[in-house]
Amino acid sequence: MPFLLGSIQQLHDRVTQLCAEYRALYEQLNIPDVGPRVDWAGILDQKMVTAAGFRYISQLLQGQILSTIACRALPSHRVLSIM
C-alpha cells in the first residue's frame, strides 16, 4: 500500500509540474481574440428547422396529418357528388 501511495504522489507531482510549464509557455503567447469562428446559433436554428420538417414528414408518413387532410377534403367531395 505505501508503494501505491508513493506512485500516486509522484504522478501528482509530475502532472503539477507539467501544468506549470504549460501555463508558463501559454502565457507567453500573444493570441488575438478573433471571436467565434463558427456561427453556432445559426447552425442550431437551421437544425431546429430541419428537425421540425422531419417531424412533419414523419407524421405525414404515419398518416396523422394525411388523415386530417382527408377529413377536410371529404365534405368538398360530397358537395361535388350531390351536384
Q: Would you state the pLDDT for residue 51?
A: 78
- What was the pLDDT predicted at 15? 96
Give pLDDT, residue 83: 47
In degrees and rounded to multiples of 5, residue 15 shows phi and psi of -65, -40
pLDDT of amino acid 33: 78
Report yes or no on 35 lying in a domain. Answer: no
User: Which residues form the domain of 13?
Assistant: 1-30
Query: Is 74 inside any structural domain?
Result: yes
Total structural domains within the chain: 2
Q: What is the pLDDT of residue 16?
A: 96
Would 83 be classed as within a structural domain?
yes
Quick one: pLDDT at residue 11?
A: 95
Q: Return averaged pLDDT per consecutive 10 residues of the chain, 83 residues in all.
A: 84 96 90 79 85 70 60 53 50
pLDDT value of residue 14: 96
Residue 41 resides in a domain = no
